[in-house]
Structure 1
Amino acid sequence: MLTLHIAPLLRRAPGDEPVPGQAVLVGDDRVEAVGPLTELTEAYAAVRVRRWPGVLGPGLLHDGPLPTAPTPRERVHALLRQGVTAVLAEHLADPSLRAAVDRSDLLVLPTAVAPTLRPDGRADLAVHDVDGVCLVTVVAGRIVHRRA
């Protein structure tokens, strides 16, 4: 099912200035399109729409050890609450931690690569408010965290 993710501002890559009037179209686990909201709503009038407050952008890369918590699952969940959708393999030596990361569908990278929103890329998104608090995390097209 196609889903159009809309927020007041969209950032395609870390460090980019967020721009208004843009949206991301997601199908399954891939980004189908990134572009002007008016064009995407005209071209895909029947899709499910998710409207978020804040700035929509690519999920974050966590490039250090995972946060401490009582269980591997809680360590992964702490990342999802921050908008993290990718981690570095070097920090996953513990097999139980690696299993928890794999179950969550977080992207495991051999080296740090800046995340971007681009057509045919994996649908890893995050929405942050003006204070930087993560409101929503989408991993491979699935909402895995939503702030209450």
Structure 2
Amino acid sequence: METIHTADAVRITWDSDAVKNGAVVVGRDRIGAVGKLDDVREAFPKARVRSWPGTLGPARVHEGPLPDAPSPRERVHAVLKLGAVAVLEEYVDSAELRAAAERNDVVVLPRTRRTALVPTGRADLAVFDEAGECVATVCAGRLVHRRR
């Protein structure tokens, strides 16, 4: 089943113009469409809708050391809570940490890359409030973090 994620504004890339009342359709681990909420709902009438406060855009690449935490799993989760679903391999310095990233579908990259919301691309999304705090993170189509 598809899920439509909608927010006050949607950005295809973080430096692109915002689409007011935008939406992103997620089916399994892929993006089905990006556009205005009314258009997306018309194209995907059976999809459930999740509304988020703030601005929705592509999930980020965490470019520094992973936050300290008691276990590799918690270190990876700390990155997800920041709105990132990819980390740089230079900071994944143990087999346990690499395994925790893999189990959570967090991508390990040789270097940073530009992120974007692209139809048929992997469904990696993040929502941030006006203060820049992460409200929700979707990693490979799964909601892995939401602020309560």
Aligning the two structures, in what range does the TM-score lie when normalised by the shorter sequence?
A: over 0.9
What TM-score results when the alignment is normalised by the length of structure 1? 0.95
**Where does structure 1 lack aligned partners over 5 or more consecutive residues?**
none
Aligned to 1:19: 19
1:67 CA displacement: 1.1
1:74 aligns with 2:74: yes
Aligned to 1:138: 138
Provide the rounded CA distance (Å) in 2 between the counterparts of 1:74 and 1:44: 35
Aligned to 1:98: 98
Q: Deviations over 1:47-104 (max 9, x none)?
A: 1111111101110101111111121111111111111111112221211111111111
Aligned to 2:45: 45
Provide the rounded CA distance (Å) in 1 between the counterparts of 2:117 and 2:136: 16
Aligned to 2:117: 117
Hey, which bits of structure 1, 4+ residues long, moved more than 3 A?
none
1:136 CA displacement: 0.5
Q: Deviations over 1:90-121 (max 9, x none)?
A: 22121111111111111122221111001011
Q: Deviations over 1:112-133 (max 9, x none)?
A: 1111001011000011100011
What root-mean-square deviation, in Å, do the aligned CA atoms of Structure 1 and Structure 2 show? 1.1
Aligned to 1:88: 88
Equivalent runs, 1:27-38 vs 2, <5 Å: 27-38=27-38
Contact 1:14–1:114 (CA<8 Å) still a contact in 2? no
1:138 CA displacement: 0.5
Provide the rounded CA distance (Å) in 2 between the counterparts of 1:41 and 1:78: 33
**Where does structure 2 lack aligned partners over 5 or more consecutive residues?**
none
Contact 2:10–2:19 (CA<8 Å) still a contact in 1? yes
Q: Which amino acid aligns with 2:6?
A: I
Provide the rounded CA distance (Å) in 1 between the counterparts of 2:124 and 2:78: 16
